[in-house]
Chain A
Amino acid sequence: IKPSSPCNKCLNVSWDSTPPCTCTINFTLEHSFESNVFMYYGLSNFYQNHRRYVKSRDDSQLNGDNSSLLNPSKECEPYRTNEDKPIAPCGAIANSMFNDTLELYRIDNDTRTPITLIKKGIAWWTDKNVKFRNPTGDGNNLTALFQGTTKPVNWPKPVYMLDSEPDNNGFINEDFIVWMRTAALPTFRKLYRLIERKNNFQPTLQAGKYSLDIAYNYPVHSFDGRKRMILSTISWMGGKNPFLGIAYITVGSICFFLGVVLLFIHHKYGNRNTSADIPN
């Protein structure tokens, strides 16, 4: 967040203030996005790969194991219990979940048209259906199921109130699942929303002005972090990264050059050995 950014005002606002500080960033898309657009949030200087951070979770609890729900693993310390109640979901990863809300508008002749953001399908299918499970019990009332647990210290709401839809709530909330997949490097991005192409005649996002509304909850200033929002399309090879292409071209040309050189050397010196003896 640059100092000139409209969100600068939120830096000094306490992270758990209600209502959250909101800011709006306007931007322009030079080119239209033809296919499905992926909306990411990116964080920098956030060491999600720290050894103690990576460990600080309880997979059994997240998998819906009832005993682990009430008695989380010791790995979660110090985010295991709060006021003698087990935290669900426990651990530092869950506790530090990204909780900004991003909304995208298209500004067309001064009218803001909200763009539909799809929040399902952003997590791995296996994560959502196998690895992360809500606790089982009678009924589907998550509130009852999560009884006896408390929310993570830094969360404003308990886990069973993450979303209104039952199949995206609790542990199987996809935003939560995405967050729980710890990033490998300190600069990372995570998938936030999908923007689907509505029909074949219109690009998903036309070139033009857009604005991003941010409910600024997540503090990054304390660790010199930065937040970003990235809109990207995806090819068959994944996200846009020129590195591999450049690498292949470079290495390919080096190999070709060396091949020519070696061929020359082989022609010039290769036959020498057949007549050479062994000098001592």
Chain B
Amino acid sequence: MVLITIMVFITLLNLVPIIYHFLTISVKILVQLFFGVYSMLGFVLLKVRDRFELKSPVKTIEDFIRRFTPSRLTAGSNSSSSSSLATSKSMHRFGLSTLSSTSTDSTLLKLEEKLAYSAQMNNYGYSSQQGRTAVGGTPEEGELRYEAESPDEAALVYAARAYNCSLVGRLSDQVSVELPHLGTLSFEVLHTLGFDSIRKRMSVVVRHPLTDEINVYTKGADSVVMDLLLPCSSDDPRGKHQKKIRSKTQNYLNLYAVDGLRTLCIAKRVLSKEEYGCWLKTHLEAESSIENREELLFQSALRIEKNLHLLGATGIEDRLQDGVPETIASLRKAGLQIWVLTGDKQETAVNIAYACKLLDHDEEIITLNAESPETCAVLLEQCLQCVQSKFSNTIDGATGNMTVGFTPLYPPSSSVLSSLGLVIDGRTLAYALEPALEDKFLALAKRCRSVLCCRSTPLQKSMVVKLVRDKLKAMTLAIGDGANDVSMIQVADVGVGISGQEGMQAVMASDFAIPRFRHLEKLLLVHGHWCYSRLANMVLYFFYKNAMFVALLFWYQFYCGFSGSSMIDQWYLIFFNLFFSSLPQLITGVLDKDVPAEVLIAVPQLYKSGQNMEEYQPHMFWMNMIDAMYQSLVCFFIPYFTYYDSEVDIFSWGTPITTIALFTIILHLAIETKTWTFLHWSSCIFSIILFFFVALVYNASCPVCHPPSNPYWTMERLMGDPVFYFTCIISPVVALLPRFLYRTLQGTLFPTQLQLGRQLSKLSPETRTQLLTELNVKETIRQTQLLADSFSLSLGSNASHCYRAKNQSTPLPASPQTRESLFREHTKAEHKTDQTAAASPQGAVLYEENKLPSSAGSLERSVESLSVGTTLPWSSAVDQEDFSLLKWITSTPLFSHIGTVLQVSSSSLQNETRDSICVLGSSLHVDFKGLKEESSNCDFLVRSAGCI
């Protein structure tokens, strides 16, 4: 009912962040295959290819991959294959990158056309991605339409086809691949070791049709696959080579990730017959075992997925859905706190978070990466201290320690007012979610504007949601589209599923299903708000209505000797709530719109009324009850005095009271109703007509049927009596006068935001937009002001705290107040100047900058005025800290053994332009960017970016 505080958990898929990928129909894929994109990888494969060339023309998938590298496609001549390994490495990188830049473009364009064509040609052929689902395929090449379990897989297959290597058939035990020079090859699929979120990879065991070799192909998360590679000795030159390749691959993977691509590693392993036979035996046992089958299969998969040989890496771009940044921004404005829980790797996730404006570039990022619970605990502790000290603008001894454990990634910035973002990875999250640490974790997370959890498993997602829901007593909303979000969706108070390419599991587990992420804005801001206001008003109204009606009977007890008799006919008592007064409130409860949808969307701040529980508060409840009592007194005593000492009988007196109560209740609802439609009018009128109709028919129906009441002909007689009408007019007027007066005065003199919003909708569109822009500007100013206030207050409190520490013997003087007033003057003065400066965002920033020295200065002044003997290192501390953004990263195993990674990620975070990351062939990259924008409506784009 009350959407108090919705913390939106946006979850991402198991390896896949939904947030940006939310059902992109046109998944734009960048399959960056090692051969083409980066020379180093190309080198690896060339080597492999050469080896096979000795035996047969095409034997392996590597070979088929080789064939669709851009160099092949565009340059035509296979210069690389003929050249020696040693030379081709460098030649490739520098030579071909320039050579193929134009030709690659054209190829890509062609590919797009082709794909667009094939997309139009919707023959309903199914073919599935290798390794997962098995659906029949159509033989016709070029008109294939693949359906896969996940869009990633489909993207890979489409990409392969774009390079003329099409998957043409998929049976349960066979994969047919059509290769440009060889025709169709059928690989026998011996085993499929399915994906699970613990292994984070999947494998197929295939028999090569030509060599009869048994190969294991594994694709999976880079971190996992990289750890499973065959260890290579460093003394052997080949091993050295391998090592180099790996580190380069890792480098590229990181580049992809920073670029926001979803990375996968592909590796293979050649099994000998004996090895295979041996493994097969245990595997079959595992498959046929009844107990513990899952566990055994898992073990079996672990046995075969080792000593892998790296083939390469892919990067798939999963485009953000339309309007994701805007939606997140307006949800933020509405006061929601947004956490992203994703299975993606950290770099990818951070990048996507930037892309969808979850993290801002001027925001400080706290990154938590820990290897053990202990480090995690220390980290949390330090971050917490650091954040607290930052908020209070004091620096304690922790600063020195911090630099030991962390590397500040972000250069010092002047913006102290920018909020915090927290990035935490799956492993650290697991530690942080332990009971000992969860409170600290939450305390830290609460201070952050956004929280990003990467590499989290479905279980972790649900644990995070549960933690927040239980500990912060917040209303949680989880939104996701994948099967791995199901647990989270179920745990959250409100679960929203996005129906799309990831299947229907999330939708089926959810409370609400929406087709696009941006619809969440409407769901929450419009429908959520309406729902809240309707429910709040209806609950109040229900209580009012019943209290008012029952109180009528209560007052009567004073005049019937407390015997429990009722002046209202029993049938009226029954029908009153059931028929006479139910329809209008039902209509209002379902259809009332307190503020029109467009205003709610335009002013997300209005959503806060729900979070602050503005429409249903205890005092409103009691006011409502008092009003109900007053109204019932009026409705009782006006007829009482009218008919006092007259010959009226019990039901001729009770029927006017019922009528008056009905009028009052319906008119009360009319005061509370914000939108009037035909239905509202007709329901109110219908209810009144229904009452009179029922009363007349009932009173005329049968003279003896309704003992003991027997109101025969009462209504008919009353309706011939003018007193009845006079009473019925004056009583509702008197009863509703206070409420009407209150509403009018409150609406005119002290309008709430919602009422203003309602008024906004009545204005002409031009004035409305003008007002809205004004409003946004003011909002910015206000926020700055607010922060400044809190800042100065915290400064003040800290100063006094310190003072207390220093002079414990002396009582506190009244200086804190003076100090505060001092601050206020400062801020006010600056605020004024700021307003004149058109209050643009730049203005706000300026303001922040202005404020800092002044506050620091005034702080010093205040310290001096307190005449503290010992010198406090205030100013120096402030300088030292320089209000810098904190951005800490620990040395993870991943980062420690690949030194370059850290630099890459840090540089990418430091530099706001991501394009500069692409060190190689940046011009080409830019070209592709342009191309990407142009062809955004195209189904997908295979991007063989970079330099060949």
Q: Is the CB of B559 within 8 A of A241?
A: no
- Complex CA gap A125/B552 in Å reads 30
Q: Is B935 an interface residue (CB 8 A)?
A: no
Enumerate chain A residues within 8 angstroms of B734, measured Cβ to Cβ.
247, 251
Q: Is the CB of B712 within 8 A of A130?
A: yes
Q: Is the CB of B646 within 8 A of A243?
A: no
Q: Is the CB of B737 within 8 A of A255?
A: yes
Selected contact of B707 from candidates A59, A182, A184, A185, CB within 8 Å:
A59
- Complex CA gap A50/B744 in Å reads 43
Within 8 A of A (CB), among B590-620: 603, 605-606, 608
Which of B645, B727, B760, B774 is packed against the most chain A CB atoms within 10 Å? Answer: B645
Min CB–CB distance A122 → chain B (angstroms)? 9
Q: Is the CB of B647 within 8 A of A189?
A: yes
Q: Is the CB of B642 within 8 A of A244?
A: yes
Selected contact of B646 from candidates A49, A131, A241, CB within 8 Å:
A241
Q: A-facing mask of B693-736, CB < 8 A → 1, else 0? A: 00000000001100110101100110001110011001001100
Q: A-facing mask of B900-919, CB < 8 A → 1, else 0? A: 00000000000000000000
Q: Is the CB of B645 within 8 A of A188?
A: yes
Interface residues on B, range: 35 or more
- Complex CA gap A280/B560 in Å reads 53
Enumerate chain B residues within 8 angstroms of A130, measured Cβ to Cβ.
703, 712-713
- Complex CA gap A267/B722 in Å reads 38
Selected contact of B638 from candidates A189, A190, A247, A269, CB within 8 Å:
A247
Q: Is the CB of A59 within 8 A of B561?
A: no
Min CB–CB distance B610 → chain A (angstroms)? 14
Q: Is the CB of A182 within 8 A of B748?
A: no
- Complex CA gap A247/B646 in Å reads 18
With A63-B703, A183-B647: A237-B748 Cβ-Cβ less than 8 Å: no
Selected contact of A251 from candidates B564, B641, B647, B730, CB within 8 Å:
B730
Enumerate chain B residues within 8 angstroms of A201, measured Cβ to Cβ.
none
Enumerate chain B residues within 8 angstroms of A13, measured Cβ to Cβ.
none
- Complex CA gap A237/B643 in Å reads 12
Min CB–CB distance A134 → chain B (angstroms)? 14
Q: Is the CB of B748 within 8 A of A266?
A: yes
- The closest CB in chain A to the CB of B774 belongs to A277
Q: Is the CB of B645 within 8 A of A236?
A: no
Enumerate chain B residues within 8 angstroms of A279, measured Cβ to Cβ.
753, 778, 782
Q: Is A124 an interface residue (CB 8 A)?
A: yes
Q: Is the CB of A244 within 8 A of B564?
A: no
Within 8 A of B (CB), among A16-57: 40, 42, 47-55, 57
Q: B-facing mask of A185-208, CB < 8 A → 1, else 0? A: 111111100000000000000000
Q: Is the CB of A49 within 8 A of B560?
A: yes
With A126-B712, A131-B703, A254-B737: A188-B560 Cβ-Cβ less than 8 Å: no
Q: Is B689 an interface residue (CB 8 A)?
A: no
Q: A-facing mask of B631-665, CB < 8 A → 1, else 0? A: 00000001011111111111111100000000000
Q: Is B290 an interface residue (CB 8 A)?
A: no
Q: Is the CB of A184 within 8 A of B565?
A: no
Q: Is A274 an interface residue (CB 8 A)?
A: yes
Q: Is the CB of A189 within 8 A of B645?
A: yes
Q: Is A144 an interface residue (CB 8 A)?
A: no
- The closest CB in chain A to the CB of B708 belongs to A55
- The closest CB in chain A to the CB of B753 belongs to A278
Q: Is the CB of B712 within 8 A of A276?
A: no
Enumerate chain A residues within 8 angstroms of B645, measured Cβ to Cβ.
42, 185, 187-189
Q: Is A75 an interface residue (CB 8 A)?
A: yes
Q: Is the CB of B707 within 8 A of A75?
A: yes
- Decide if the interface of chain B is mainly helix, strand, loop or mixed: helix
Selected contact of A241 from candidates B564, B644, B651, B760, CB within 8 Å:
B644
Q: Is A239 an interface residue (CB 8 A)?
A: yes
- Complex CA gap A173/B1 in Å reads 62
Min CB–CB distance B746 → chain A (angstroms)? 11
Q: Is A273 an interface residue (CB 8 A)?
A: yes
Q: Is B759 an interface residue (CB 8 A)?
A: yes
Enumerate chain B residues within 8 angstroms of A118, measured Cβ to Cβ.
none
Enumerate chain A residues within 8 angstroms of B760, measured Cβ to Cβ.
278
Q: Is A270 an interface residue (CB 8 A)?
A: yes
Q: B-facing mask of A239-280, CB < 8 A → 1, else 0? A: 101011001100100110010001001100110011111111
- Complex CA gap A51/B570 in Å reads 13
Q: Is B868 an interface residue (CB 8 A)?
A: no
Selected contact of B751 from candidates A49, A65, A182, A273, CB within 8 Å:
A273
Enumerate chain B residues within 8 angstroms of A127, measured Cβ to Cβ.
712-713
Q: Is B756 an interface residue (CB 8 A)?
A: yes
Q: Is A60 an interface residue (CB 8 A)?
A: yes
Q: Is A66 an interface residue (CB 8 A)?
A: no
Enumerate chain B residues within 8 angstroms of A189, measured Cβ to Cβ.
645-647
Which of A53, A73, A188, A277 is packed against the most chain B CB atoms within 10 Å? Answer: A277
Enumerate chain A residues within 8 angstroms of B605, measured Cβ to Cβ.
278, 280
Within 8 A of B (CB), among A99-136: 124, 126-127, 130-131
Q: Is the CB of B643 within 8 A of A185?
A: yes
Enumerate chain A residues within 8 angstroms of B774, measured Cβ to Cβ.
277
Q: Is the CB of A280 within 8 A of B753?
A: yes
Enumerate chain A residues within 8 angstroms of B737, measured Cβ to Cβ.
251, 254-255, 258
Q: Is B757 an interface residue (CB 8 A)?
A: yes
Selected contact of B650 from candidates A40, A49, A62, CB within 8 Å:
A49
Q: Is B838 an interface residue (CB 8 A)?
A: no
- The closest CB in chain B to the CB of A254 belongs to B737
- Complex CA gap A63/B706 in Å reads 13
Q: Is B550 an interface residue (CB 8 A)?
A: no
Q: Is A139 an interface residue (CB 8 A)?
A: no
Q: Is A181 an interface residue (CB 8 A)?
A: yes
With A266-B748, A276-B751, A280-B608: A190-B647 Cβ-Cβ less than 8 Å: yes
With A126-B713, A184-B643: A273-B741 Cβ-Cβ less than 8 Å: no
Q: Is the CB of B707 within 8 A of A265?
A: no
Q: Is the CB of B563 within 8 A of A52?
A: yes
- Complex CA gap A134/B778 in Å reads 84
Enumerate chain B residues within 8 angstroms of A185, measured Cβ to Cβ.
559, 640, 643-645, 648, 653
Q: Is the CB of B775 within 8 A of A278?
A: yes
Q: Is A238 an interface residue (CB 8 A)?
A: yes
Q: A-facing mask of B474-511, CB < 8 A → 1, else 0? A: 00000000000000000000000000000000000000
Q: B-facing mask of A212-247, CB < 8 A → 1, else 0? A: 000000000000000000000000111101011001
Q: Is the CB of B757 within 8 A of A278?
A: yes
Q: Is B539 an interface residue (CB 8 A)?
A: no
Min CB–CB distance A75 → chain B (angstroms)? 6
Q: Is B763 an interface residue (CB 8 A)?
A: yes
- Complex CA gap A34/B170 in Å reads 110
- Complex CA gap A62/B654 in Å reads 23
Q: B-facing mask of A49-89, CB < 8 A → 1, else 0? A: 11111110111101101000000010100000000000000
Min CB–CB distance A206 → chain B (angstroms)? 25
Q: Is B941 an interface residue (CB 8 A)?
A: no
- The closest CB in chain A to the CB of B762 belongs to A274
Selected contact of B559 from candidates A186, A238, A265, CB within 8 Å:
A186
- The closest CB in chain B to the CB of A262 belongs to B744
- The closest CB in chain B to the CB of A91 belongs to B708
Smallest CB-CB A-B distances: 7 pairs: A51-B565, A184-B653, A55-B708, A51-B563, A126-B713, A181-B649, A59-B704
- For this complex, 24 residue pairs linking A to B, each with C-beta atoms less than 8 Å apart, are A48-B650, A49-B650, A55-B708, A73-B707, A124-B717, A126-B703, A126-B717, A130-B703, A130-B713, A131-B703, A184-B648, A186-B559, A190-B647, A238-B722, A239-B647, A241-B643, A243-B642, A247-B638, A247-B734, A251-B734, A255-B733, A255-B737, A273-B759, A280-B782
Inter-chain pairs besides A277-B775, A280-B605, 17 sampled, C-beta below 8 Å: A51-B564, A52-B563, A54-B650, A54-B708, A126-B712, A127-B712, A130-B713, A131-B704, A184-B648, A185-B648, A239-B647, A244-B726, A274-B763, A277-B774, A278-B775, A279-B753, A280-B779
Query: A residues touching B (Cβ–Cβ < 8 Å)?
Result: 40, 42, 47-55, 57-60, 62-63, 65, 73, 75, 124, 126-127, 130-131, 178, 181-191, 236-239, 241, 243-244, 247-248, 251, 254-255, 258, 262, 265-266, 269-270, 273-280
